[in-house]
Amino acid sequence: MTHRPHVAVVGGGVTGLAAARKLSRACIGGVTPSVTLLERSGRVGGKIRSRSFAGATVDVGPEALFAAAPEATRLCDELGLAEELVPTLRSNTAVWTRGRLREMPAGILGGLPDGIAPVLRSGILSPAGAARAGVDLVLPKDGGEADESVGSLVRRRLGDQALERMIDPLLGGIYGGDPDALSLKATAPRLHALAREHRSLIRGLIAAGRSTPRAQGPMLVTLPGGLQRLITRLRADLGETEVVEREGVLRIEPLPGGRHLLHTTAGRELTVDATVVATPAGAAAQMLRASVPAAAAELSEIRYTSVTVVWLAFPAGALRRPLDTTGFLVPRGERRMLTACTLASAKWPHLAAHSDRVFLRCSVGRNDPQATALGDEQLVARVVAELGEAIAALGDPLDAQVTRWQDAMPQYTVGHLERIGRLDSVLGSLPRLRLAGAAYRGVGVPQCIAQGEAAAAQIVSALS
C-alpha cells in the first residue's frame, strides 16, 4: 500500500494557512498528503484580525492588500472573495512636519516619487533641506553591491531631512523600524538599484519616473467585512487538514530517514514526513535550537519591534473640514507619539458610508517607546490630543479600541538577504523542513501567501 505522507504546518497565520491549503490539494505519488496545522494560540489568522468597533468591522492588524503584488488578490479570487474587494477612495497621503500636514509627492507610496518637482513643491523639505538634497547631483557615484542601511545611503546622498521626513515615515509604516538599521537591499531594493545604476540618486529618480509606467488600477484594496474574511475562507478551504489550536510546537527533531519528531506544548510527540514552520523567527529558533543550532543562530538574529493600533470613532461633526487625504505619517524627528494616522473614513468606502461618524486608525509606539507603557485611557487621551494639533480639535471620541502588538514587526536589518541565504544553505541538507513567513522574504500579506505556497511546493517536490 502507498504510504500517505504526513506534513505538519506549524503556525496558523496567513503563511501557514496558505501552505496548508496548497498541501491539502497536492498529489504525492498518487496520494494527497495528510496535513496537520498546529497553532499555539486559540485562533488562526495570526496578525490578521478584524473586530467589531463602533458599529463597523475594522482591522486591528493589516488593513490593506497591496494590489500590485498579485498573490493576495489571486487567492481572494480562488476563495470567491474577489467581488468583495474594494479599492481605496483616494491614494494621496500626507506627512505631519514643519507644523502642518503636507502632501506626500505622488507615486512615492509605490516606491519612488513621480519626479523631483513634486518633492520640492510638497514643502516637506525646508529650503536648506532641499538644497542639501541637491548636493547629490554633484557627488561622485558611490552605490556599490554591498548592503548598507537605508539611512546611510540616503543621508549621504540626499541629506538627513530627506531620510527623516520622507523615507523614514514610509519605511516606518511597513517595518516599524529604524532606517539607520534597515537593510537597503531588503527593504528599499529600488533605491539600491538606482544608486548602483546612476551617478546621482536624483538623476536616477528622474529617469525611473520617465521610464516607469504609472500603475494602473487601485494600489490598495481591502475586504469591507475585515481581512479576517480571508482567514475564514482559507480555513474553510483546507480540505481534510486537521487544524489544532492551542497546541504549539516546542522542538523539532530530525529523525534518520528524513522524518521529523515534533514535541508539542500539549506534551505530544508527533512523527511527520515533513514540516513547514510558519511562525515568527524567535519561535522557529527555539524549535531548532537543539537540532539545527546553525539555523537557530541565524533566526535569533532577526529582531522584532512592537506597535500599538488605536481605533477611534468621532461624531461626523467633530471634523471641521472634509478629509481629503487617506491619512498622514509622522517623522520620528517630530517627537510625537503618533507614527501614522489613517483617516479611515476618507480611505475606505465602507467606512465612509457611516455618515454619522468618522473612523480613524492610529499607530503609535515607534516614535516614542514610552507610549506603549501607558494605560489604554492615557494612550487614547494623548493620541486624541496630538490629532487635535494635526487636524483640528476633535473633542471626545465616541469609542476607542487599543490593540497592542508585541514584537510583531520583523526587522530586515543590514545583511538580511545574506542571513536568509545562510539559512537556506544550512537547511539545504533538510529539504523536508521549510521556513516561511514575514521574517524572511517580505512582510506584506501577499508575500507571506507566496512564501507559504512556495514552501508547500518545495515539500511536495522533496517528498515526491
Ligand X SMILES: Cc1cc2nc3c(=O)[nH]c(=O)nc-3n(C[C@H](O)[C@H](O)[C@H](O)COP(=O)(O)OP(=O)(O)OC[C@H]3O[C@@H](n4cnc5c(N)ncnc54)[C@H](O)[C@@H]3O)c2cc1C
Residue list 196-255, contact with ligand X (CB under 6 A): 248-249
Question: Which of 119, 167, 296, 309 is in the footprint of ligand X by CB under 6 A?
Answer: 309
The Cα 390–Cα 387 span in angstroms is 5
Question: Which of 6, 7, 8, 12 is in the footprint of ligand X by CB under 6 A?
Answer: 12
Looking at residue 157, its amino acid is R
Find the shortest distance in angstroms from Cβ 137 to ligand X: 35
Residue list 150-189, contact with ligand X (CB under 6 A): none
Burial track 13-26 (b if 16+ CB lie within 10 A, e otherwise): bbbbbbbbbbbbeb
The Cα 18–Cα 30 span in angstroms is 22
For residue 338, give the H/E element and its range: strand 338-342
Q: What is the DSSP letter of 25?
A: T
Question: What is the contact mask toward ligand X in residues 259 to 298, using x (rule: CB under 6 A)?
Answer: -------------------xxx--x---------------
Question: Which of 25, 32, 41, 457 is in the footprint of ligand X by CB under 6 A?
Answer: 41
Find the shortest distance in angstroms from Cβ 183 to ligand X: 17
Find the shortest distance in angstroms from Cβ 443 to ligand X: 4
Cell numbers standing for residue 372: 506603549
Q: What is the DSSP letter of 398?
A: S
- For CA atoms 135, 138, 139, 142, the dihedral sign is positive
Strand pairing partners for 281? none
Phi first, then psi: give them for residue 372, nearest 5 degrees. -70, -15
C-beta closer to ligand X: residue 133 or 408: 408
The Cα 78–Cα 237 span in angstroms is 10
Instruction: Return the number of other C-beta atoms located less than 10 Å from residue 419's C-beta.
Output: 19
Cβ neighbours of residue 317 closer than 8 Å, sequence gap 6 or more: none
**Segment interacting with ligand X (CB under 6 A) among 61-69, 161-169, 317-325, 375-383:** 61-69
Q: What is the DSSP letter of 147?
A: -
**Segment interacting with ligand X (CB under 6 A) among 75-83, 337-345, 347-355, 404-412:** 404-412
- Does residue 143 touch ligand X according to CB under 6 A? no
Question: Which of 234, 443, 456, 460 is in the footprint of ligand X by CB under 6 A?
Answer: 443
Question: Which of 205, 448, 450, 460 is in the footprint of ligand X by CB under 6 A?
Answer: 448
**Segment interacting with ligand X (CB under 6 A) among 42-50, 118-126, 143-151, 209-217:** 42-50
- Does residue 340 touch ligand X according to CB under 6 A? no
C-beta closer to ligand X: residue 48 or 344: 48
Question: What is the contact mask toward ligand X in residues 111 to 130, using x (rule: CB under 6 A)?
Answer: --------------------
The Cα 203–Cα 86 span in angstroms is 36
The Cα 306–Cα 51 span in angstroms is 20
The Cα 426–Cα 84 span in angstroms is 42
Find the shortest distance in angstroms from Cβ 33 to ligand X: 19
Question: Which of 33, 61, 113, 397 is in the footprint of ligand X by CB under 6 A?
Answer: 61
C-beta closer to ligand X: residue 116 or 270: 270
Question: Considering only CA atoms, which of 408, 397, 354, 328 is closest in space to residue 61?
Answer: 408
- Does residue 405 touch ligand X according to CB under 6 A? yes
C-beta closer to ligand X: residue 8 or 150: 8
Rg (CA), the chain: 23
Within 13 A of 8's CA, how many CA atoms are on the CB side? 27
**Segment interacting with ligand X (CB under 6 A) among 63-71, 288-296, 373-381, 426-434:** 63-71
Find the shortest distance in angstroms from Cβ 454 to ligand X: 13
Phi first, then psi: give them for residue 131, nearest 5 degrees. -65, -40
Instruction: Return the number of other C-beta atoms located less than 10 Å from residue 49's C-beta.
Output: 19
Find the shortest distance in angstroms from Cβ 406 to ligand X: 10
Count residues contacting ligand X (CB under 6 A)? 37
Strand 86-87 with 220-222, pairing: antiparallel
For residue 207, give the H/E element and its range: helix 201-211
- Does residue 62 touch ligand X according to CB under 6 A? yes
The Cα 130–Cα 112 span in angstroms is 17
**Segment interacting with ligand X (CB under 6 A) among 115-123, 200-208, 331-339, 438-446:** 438-446
- Does residue 10 touch ligand X according to CB under 6 A? yes
Question: Which of 152, 354, 444, 462 is in the footprint of ligand X by CB under 6 A?
Answer: 444
Find the shortest distance in angstroms from Cβ 190 to ligand X: 18
Residue ranges that bind ligand X, judged by CB under 6 A: 10-16, 38-41, 46-48, 61-66, 248-249, 278-280, 283, 307, 309, 405, 408-409, 437-438, 443-445, 448
